[in-house]
Structure 1
Amino acid sequence: MALVPYDDSAVWGLQKFHKSSSVYHFANHTIQIKQNWKQLGVAAVVWDAVCMIKINIFSICAEHVSVSSPTPNNTELLCAHVTITDREAALEFLESNVQANLPPDLQPRAVVKELTWGRNLGNFAPGKFDFILGADIIYLEDTFADLLQTLEHLCSEHTVILLSCRIRYQRDQNFLEMLKGRFSVREVHYDPSKDVRVFKAQRSIHKEDF
Structure 2
Amino acid sequence: MAAPTVASDVEVGLESVFPRELGLFADAFPAETRYRLCGHELSIAQYHGAHLGVAAPVWEAALTLCEYFEAQKLNFWGKKVIELGAGTGIVGILASLLGGDVTITDLPVALKQIEENVHRNLPMKCMARARVCALSWGLDHKEFPKNYDFILGADIVYLKDTYPLLIRTLQHLCGAQSTIYLSSKMRQEHSTEFFFETLLPMHFTSKLAFRDEAENINIYEVTSKNNIGQ
Q: What's the TM-score once normalised by structure 1's chain length? A: 0.79
Q: Deviations over 1:134-188 (max 9, x none)?
A: 0111100000000000000000121111111111116212211110011111111
Q: CA deviation at 1:122?
A: 2.6
Q: Tell me the distance in 1 between the aligned counterparts of 2:110 and 2:77.
A: 31
Correspondences of 1:101-140 after superposition (within 5 Å): 101-125=121-145, 127-140=146-159
Q: Structure 1 residues 76, 145: closer, same or farther in 2, change over 3 A?
A: closer
SS in 1 for 2:49: helix
Q: CA deviation at 1:23?
A: 1.6
Q: Deviations over 1:56-91 (max 9, x none)?
A: 2252734x9799xxxxxx999722200000100110
Which residues of structure 2 form unaligned runs of 5+?
1-19, 23-28, 80-93
The aligned residue for residue 142 of structure 1 is 161
Q: Tell me the distance in 2 between the aligned counterparts of 1:166 and 1:114.
A: 24
Q: What letter is aligned with 1:114?
A: A
Moved more, 163-172 or 79-88: 163-172
User: In the alignment, does 2:69 pair up with 1:57?
Assistant: yes
Moved more, 135-144 or 189-198: 189-198
Alignment RMSD (CA, Å) = 2.8
Q: CA deviation at 1:193?
A: 2.1
Relative contact order, higher structure (CA 8 A, sep 6+): 1
Q: What's the TM-score once normalised by structure 2's chain length? A: 0.73
Task: Give aligned-pair identity as a percent.
Answer: 32
Correspondent of 2:195 among 144, 150, 175: 175
Q: Is the 8 Å Cα contact of residues 158 and 204 (structure 1) preserved in structure 2? A: no
Correspondences of 1:190-201 after superposition (within 5 Å): 190-201=211-222
Q: Deviations over 1:103-130 (max 9, x none)?
A: 02211211001011001123201x2210
Q: Structure 1 residues 138, 60: closer, same or farther in 2, change over 3 A?
A: farther
Q: Tell me the distance in 2 between the aligned counterparts of 1:37 and 1:206.
A: 40
* Aligned pairs, number: 187
